């Protein structure tokens, strides 16, 4: 079955978020390129326009993802009681090391916690694969839902979020979750 992918755009405290989903699950979450990152904690998550909201009525995974984003930015700890929307990611194979890393990250590293690349490699059963964990983070198509921002260097530094372009964004997300 081919996917009919629906796309919606949201405004948020960290800028525009684009979500792509089909009836089987969320394909991708894109965060706006943080060139001059200037978060606005007062900005509520909302649709860019009314037509975007109509799309959510046609796709349950998309609606569930939007509701998760609204809850996350309103009170990050509130998403611990929510289930994640289903995923339909095609960039990596189910059962692969990357899939295992991202699954462990999404299910074992809670809001307000961080984990090092080495710790996440160990949690995935291969303690010497910290570099491969970095590759898995780069393959993550659903940031925030699969919280790659919670993965830090072994010395506690933020590392290179979004290839280094999103380090301030990562710090903001970690501080938001610590509230």
**Cβ atoms of 102 and 138 closer than 8 Å:** no
| Residues that are catalytic | 148
What are the φ/ψ torsions at residue 43 (nearest 5 degrees)? Answer: -70, 120
- CA 67, CA 79: separation in Å to the nearest integer? 10
Q: Tell me the two tokens of residue 87.
A: 């995923």
Q: Find the helix or strand (DSSP H, E) in which 119 lies.
A: helix 117-123
Residue in 171, 178, 166, 113 with CA at minimum distance from that of residue 137: 166
């Amino acid at each position: 079955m081919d996917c009919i992918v629906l796309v919606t755009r949201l405004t948020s405290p960290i800028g525009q978020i684009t979500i792509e989903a089909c009836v089987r699950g969320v394909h991708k979450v894109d965060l706006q390129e943080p060139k001059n990152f200037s978060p606005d904690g007062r900005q509520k998550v909302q649709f860019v326009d009314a037509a975007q909201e109509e799309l959510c009525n046609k796709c349950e995974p998309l609606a569930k993802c939007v509701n998760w984003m609204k809850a996350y930015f309103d009170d990050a700890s509130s998403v611990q009681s929510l289930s994640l929307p289903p995923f339909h990611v095609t960039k990596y194979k189910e059962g692969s090391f990357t899939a295992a890393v991202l699954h462990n990250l999404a299910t074992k590293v809670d809001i307000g916690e961080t984990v090092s690349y080495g710790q996440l490699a160990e949690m995935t059963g291969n303690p010497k694969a910290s570099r491969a964990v970095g590759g898995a983070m780069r393959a993550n198509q659903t940031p925030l839902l699969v919280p790659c921002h919670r993965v830090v260097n072994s010395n506690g530094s933020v590392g290179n979020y979004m290839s280094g372009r999103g380090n301030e964004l990562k710090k903001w997300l970690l501080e938001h979750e610590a509230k």
